[in-house]
């Protein structure tokens, strides 16, 4: 039942549309308060606004977000866990005019697929990898990943992640930003309105860098997982703002494309 409360809609202009044009159905089975559908909405809105739908190929890893492969209205290749950047490489090399993005969680990219994303970035492949980082393996029920932050409780770190026992989280966006093949890296979040607006802006910039042929682009989006975090859905945003973003500062990690570098690394002379 759709309700309209207050005055009717005559004379009004719509400023926000519930269902993105590129989403085939709004029905989904993500938990209450999950940040992934929010991130997915932003990606679809950017693709739509840049009029890229008929050139886009999505390359999806394994995680809760895998649920989107049935309802996003772009061509989709569902890959093996961690391998999306490699599949994306093959796709982009064979169809250089296509717009290729990966959709991966932290379990997929930072655990299983760490070397895939680093090598793809180092090669400067003109693809955009999107990391949905909630610090857990959500799809299996909420377990420790290489991105889980210190102190974070998961089903395999019930007392909270401890450096002595579990080691330290890996800030993959920083690693990627340090590589010369990388054109643009940004870390964003969807834990409140302003963050969401910025997240959409950096996603757009990443796709624009791809369209420009500048090199590899990565957008990390911190997403709420109240189920995995043992918090209520309504406080997921606060947890993301304080705990996750504390460990993964938001912002653009690289901005300008690297100047074209020809020749060798050998010392001159």
Partner 1 sequence: MITTDGSRAGQREPAGPELYSGSEVIARSAIMAGCRFFAGYPMSPFTELLESFSKLMTGPGRVCVDAESEIEGANMVIGAAATGARAATGSCGQGIALMQEAIAESALNQTPIVVFNMARGQQDYFQATRGGGWGDYRTITLAPKDVFEAGEHTQLLFHLADKYRAPVLLYGDHFIAHTEVSIRLEAREFGPLHPKDWALDGALGGTGRSRQIWTWNSGKVLSPGPGPDEHWRRIGAKFEAIAAAEQRWESAHEGADTMIVSFGTAAVFVERVVAELRAEGHSVGWFRPITLWPFPAAALERAAAGASRVLVFEVNAGQMVEDVRLALPDRSRIASIGGVSFDDSGLRYGTLMDVPEIRARVVGALSRERIR
Partner 2 sequence: MTAEPYRGTVTIASERCKGCELCVVACPPRVLSMSDDVNEAGYRYPLLAPGCIGCSLCHAVCPDFVFDVYRFPLPAE
Residues forming the site for partner 2 (CB under 8 A): 1-7, 9, 11-19, 23, 26-28, 30-38, 41, 190, 192-193, 196-197, 226, 233-234, 236-237
CB 262 to partner 2: min, Å: 44
Site size with partner 1, rule: CB under 8 A: 40
Backbone angles phi, psi at 48, to 5 degrees: -65, -45
**One of 38, 42, 91, 132 touching partner 1 (CB under 8 A):** 91
Question: Can you list the alpha helix ranges (DSSP code H) found in 52-191?
Answer: 84-94, 106, 114-122, 163-166, 172-177
CB 23 to partner 2: min, Å: 7
Q: Which is nearer to partner 1, 23 or 144 (CB)?
A: 23
List residues bridging with 57 in a β-sheet: 75, 100
Sign of CA dihedral 172, 177, 181, 186: positive
Neighbours of 35 (CB within 10 A): 27
Q: Which is nearer to partner 2, 3 or 264 (CB)?
A: 3
Among the listed residues 132, 129, 50, 133, the one whose alpha carbon sits nearest the alpha carbon of residue 92: 129
Q: Kindly state whether residue 175 participates in binding partner 1, applying the rule CB under 8 A.
A: no
**One of 80, 114, 149, 150 touching partner 1 (CB under 8 A):** 80
CB 84 to partner 1: min, Å: 8
Q: Is 215 left (phi over 0), alpha (psi -120 to 50) or beta?
A: left
How would you classify the pairing of strands 128-133 and 99-105?
Answer: parallel
Q: Kindly state whether residue 19 participates in binding partner 1, applying the rule CB under 8 A.
A: no
Q: Give the span between the Cα atoms of 151 and 74, in whole angstroms.
A: 39
Mark the segment that binds partner 1 (CB under 8 A) among 11-19, 78-86, 142-150, 250-258.
78-86
Contact between 215 and 124 (Cβ < 8 Å): yes
**One of 106, 116, 220, 252 touching partner 1 (CB under 8 A):** 116
Q: Which is nearer to partner 2, 45 or 125 (CB)?
A: 45
Among the listed residues 88, 97, 38, 63, the one whose alpha carbon sits nearest the alpha carbon of residue 223: 38
**One of 46, 87, 130, 199 touching partner 1 (CB under 8 A):** 87
Residue whose pair of structure tokens reads 């690693």 in the numeric block: 175
> Which does residue 48 bind out of partner 2, partner 1, none, counting CB within 5 to 8 angstroms by kind?
partner 1
> Which does residue 33 bind out of partner 2, partner 1, none, counting CB within 5 to 8 angstroms by kind?
partner 2
Contact between 131 and 222 (Cβ < 8 Å): no
Residues in the site for partner 1, rule: CB under 8 A?
A: 21-22, 24-25, 48, 52-57, 59, 69-80, 83, 86-91, 93-95, 98-99, 115-116, 119, 123
């Amino acid at each position: 039942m759709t309700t309209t409360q207050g005055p009717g809609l005559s004379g009004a202009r719509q400023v926000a549309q519930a269902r993105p044009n590129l989403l085939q159905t709004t029905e989904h089975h993500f938990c209450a308060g999950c940040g992934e559908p929010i991130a997915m909405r932003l990606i679809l809105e950017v693709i739509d606004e840049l009029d890229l739908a008929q050139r886009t190929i999505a390359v999806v890893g394994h995680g809760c977000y895998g649920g989107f492969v049935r309802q996003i209205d772009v061509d989709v290749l569902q890959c093996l866990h961690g391998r999306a950047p490699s599949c994306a490489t093959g796709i982009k090399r064979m169809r250089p005019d296509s717009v290729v993005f990966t959709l991966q969680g932290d379990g997929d990219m930072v655990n299983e697929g760490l070397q895939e994303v680093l090598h793809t970035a180092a090669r400067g492949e003109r693809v955009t990898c999107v990391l949905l980082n909630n610090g857990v393996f959500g799809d299996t029920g909420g377990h420790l990943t290489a991105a889980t932050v210190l102190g974070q409780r998961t089903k395999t770190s019930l007392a909270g992640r401890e450096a002595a026992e579990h080691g330290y989280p890996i800030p993959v966006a920083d690693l990627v930003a340090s590589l010369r093949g990388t054109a643009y890296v940004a870390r964003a979040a969807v834990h409140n309105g302003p963050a969401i607006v910025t997240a959409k802006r950096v996603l757009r910039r990443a796709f624009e860098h791809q369209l420009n042929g500048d090199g590899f682009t990565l957008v990390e989006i911190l997403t709420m997982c109240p189920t995995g975090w043992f918090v209520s859905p309504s406080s997921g945003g606060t947890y993301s703002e304080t705990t996750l973003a504390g460990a993964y500062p938001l912002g653009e990690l690289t901005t300008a494309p690297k100047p074209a570098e020809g020749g060798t690394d050998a010392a001159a002379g």
